[in-house]
């Protein structure tokens, strides 16, 4: 599943970072789509150091809102209605397996509030309940078959923990609580949980809402 590669013409810009390794809910009241985010800097180029021991991380915020959305055509589900969703690909150019736990990644909004990446169960629960407390009764207003299809799409595309062999990659969607339109400046994605040679590494991607 080459999600990022198939949509290079999408308006959502991609960002790439290389880690150089040195030997040593569905509710009618919550139907507003998540604001569209772009990387603060056009970092679509890899770092100049092209050593053999490198982990490349590429991210691209997606926008599935609107009938003309290419992301919606690809995913067949409006992730933006429920989540702030970011495509991510981790490519292992090292000589050893890279362990990756994507659920350690976080998103900070403009108020410096931190949101943990949803795992599969958390994403499905948020799809159903949104911000309601856990003991609330939720009346989903989608037909049962549509709910079932939506949940299957969440399960299919959400990023999963992986052991990435040398020369291979892992990819999926990082799903977060929706960033508010009022707090979409100075957003920071922190990709964490990447272990190489028993060392844990993380990298940050500044994001923002594009100016009209």
Higher pLDDT, 119 or 7: 119
Q: At what angle do helices 120-129 and 144-157 cross, to 10 degrees?
A: 150
131 within domain boundaries: no
Residue burial 110-136, b: 16+ Cβ < 10 Å; e: rest: beeeebebbbeeebbbbbbbbeeeeee
Whether residue 177 has pLDDT greater than 70: yes
CA distance 96 to 197: 8
pLDDT tops 70 at residue 26: no
- What pLDDT is recorded for position 68? 85
39-85 per-position pLDDT tens digit: 876 544 333 233 457 899 999 999 999 888 999 999 999 999 999 99
Q: Is residue 144 part of a domain?
A: no
Percent above pLDDT 70 for the chain: 74
Condensed to tens digits (0 to 9), the pLDDT of residues 94-104 reads 999 999 999 99
Residue 65: inside a domain, yes or no? yes
Q: List Cα–Cα distances, 157 to 48, 50, 87, 153, 162, in angstroms.
A: 31, 30, 9, 6, 14
Separation of alpha carbons 212 and 199, rounded Å: 42
Domain assignment present for residue 190? The answer is yes
- Count, in order, helices (H) and strands (E) of the chain: 4, 11
Residue 48 belongs to a domain with what CATH number? 2.60.40
Residue 39 domain-assigned (yes or no): yes
How many domains in the chain?
1
Is residue 15 a part of any domain in this protein?
yes
Cβ neighbours of 71 (radius 10 Å): 24
| Domain ranges, residue 74 | 3-24+32-118+158-208
Kindly state the DSSP code that residue 23 receives in the 8-state scheme: P
């Amino acid at each position: 599943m080459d999600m990022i590669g198939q949509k290079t013409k999408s308006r959502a810009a991609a960002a790439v970072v290389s880690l150089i390794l040195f030997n040593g809910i569905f509710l009618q009241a919550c139907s507003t789509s998540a604001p569209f985010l772009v990387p603060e800097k056009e970092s679509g180029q890899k770092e100049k150091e092209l050593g053999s021991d490198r982990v490349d991380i590429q991210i691209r915020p997606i926008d599935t809102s609107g009938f003309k959305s290419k992301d919606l055509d690809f995913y067949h589900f409006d992730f933006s209605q429920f989540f702030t969703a970011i495509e991510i690909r981790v490519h292992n150019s090292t000589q050893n397996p890279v362990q990756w736990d994507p659920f350690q990644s976080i998103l900070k909004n403009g108020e410096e509030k931190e949101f943990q990446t949803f795992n599969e169960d958390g994403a499905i629960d948020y799809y159903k309940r949104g911000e309601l407390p856990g003991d609330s009764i939720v009346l989903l207003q989608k037909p049962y078959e549509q709910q079932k299809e939506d949940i299957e799409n969440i399960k299919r595309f959400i990023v999963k923990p992986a052991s990435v062999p040398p020369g291979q990659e892992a990819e999926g969607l990082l799903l977060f609580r929706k960033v508010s339109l009022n707090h979409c400046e100075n957003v920071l994605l922190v990709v964490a949980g990447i272990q190489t040679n028993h060392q844990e590494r993380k990298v940050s991607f500044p994001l923002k809402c594009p100016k009209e």
